[in-house]
Amino acid sequence: MMKEDIIEKYENSGFNGAFEIEGKVGILVVDFQIGFTDPTQSPLAGDFSEELSRTSQLLDKAREKNVPIFFCVVGYGNENEAGIWFKKVPSLSNLKLGSPLLEVDPRLKRQSNETLIVKKYASAFAGTNFASLLIANGISTLFITGITTSGCIRASVVDSVQNGIIPFVIKDAVGDRAKEPHESNLFDMQAKYAELLMCEEAISFLQNEYSPQ
């Protein structure tokens, strides 16, 4: 089936709505930790240099505009904390609490006042206080970057909608281990759960249109 036919099929099924950026904006950076970004240290990692570079540019502008920034990483004190997920992805056992693999990639220059959430599952919301933090900060819209598009990005986007927070995926600042799942999940998230923005568009919005709440 051609892409145009797929788009038409989705639209005919009623997947034709759209979100707008509303209220206070926050930034969610998903799993840009050494365990996923440094292939010399972890079998889970890949080369996401371009996505990291764009995320760094977005964060620089967010800091300038006092936009709240939230980082999440995956880490475990023991294997029981991941439940059955370890059976599917046994290499997660490398991500032990206290390990350098949990450190946010230094290219993002995380600041001491920027929240770090340690999660056990794919979504930044699952089993964490992230939803409460967003409510406490009055955040209505999330700009989301990180990895992987088909896994933790998608899971976080779906949970964002389910928690009443509007998700905007920064299209060129998220990545995956293969092109096909990356592109198919971007398409499906756009259709059902999120809007897509290029990093340049997100930066331009913060620079020219956004007034911090």
**Whole-Å CA distances, 87 to 42, 84, 102, 125, 152:** 18, 5, 21, 22, 17
pLDDT of 207 reads 96
Per-residue pLDDT tens for 41-65?
999 999 999 999 999 999 999 999 9
What are 37's two structure tokens? 């970004």
Instruction: Say yes or no to pLDDT of 2 above 70.
Output: no
With cut-offs at 50, 70 and 90, classify the pLDDT of residue 13: confident
Distances 46 to 34, 52, 66, 145, 198 between C-alpha atoms, Å? 10, 12, 31, 16, 21
Calpha distance 176→178 (Å, rounded): 5
DSSP result, 78-116: SGGGGTTHHHH-GGGGG-BTTSGGGSBPGGG---TTSEE
Q: Compute the average pLDDT of residues 100-112.
A: 98
In the block, tokens 């990483």 appear at 73
pLDDT in tens, 18-47: 999 999 999 999 999 999 999 999 999 999
Q: Tell me the pLDDT tens digit for each residue of 66-98.
A: 999 999 999 999 988 989 999 999 999 999 999
Give me the number of domains the chain comprises. 1
> Has residue 200 been placed in a domain?
yes
Please state whether 157 falls in left (phi above 0), alpha (psi between -120 and 50) or beta. alpha
pLDDT band for position 131 (cuts 50, 70, 90)? very high
Determine, yes or no, domain membership for 82.
Answer: yes
Report percent pLDDT > 70 for the chain: 97
Q: Is residue 149 part of a domain?
A: yes
Average pLDDT, the chain: 94
Measured distance CA(153)–CA(137) in Å, rounded: 21
Report the DSSP beta bridge partners of residue 70: 28, 115
CATH (domain of 98): 3.40.50.850
Residue 10 lies in a domain: no
Mean pLDDT (whole number) for 152-181: 97
Q: Are 121 and 82 in contact (CB under 8 A)?
A: yes
89, part of any domain: yes
Inside any domain, residue 18:
no
How high is the pLDDT of residue 1? 52
Contacts of 76 (CB under 8 A, 6+ apart): 82, 92, 93, 95, 96, 97, 120
Task: Tell me how far apart the alpha carbons of residues 158 and 30 are, in angstroms, rounded to a whole number.
Answer: 14
pLDDT value at residue 96: 96
Q: Which of 78-82, 124-128, 131-135 bottoms out in mean pLDDT, i.e. has the lowest?
A: 78-82
What type of residue sits at position 128?
A: T
- Inside any domain, residue 148: yes
Q: Would you place residue 10 in the very low, low, confident or very high pLDDT band (cuts 50, 70, 90)?
A: confident
**Residue 28 placed within a domain:** yes
Q: What is the mean pLDDT of residues 174-194?
A: 96
Specify the pLDDT at position 192.
Answer: 95
Whether the predicted pLDDT of 141 surpasses 90: yes
Structural domain span for residue 148: 24-109+116-207
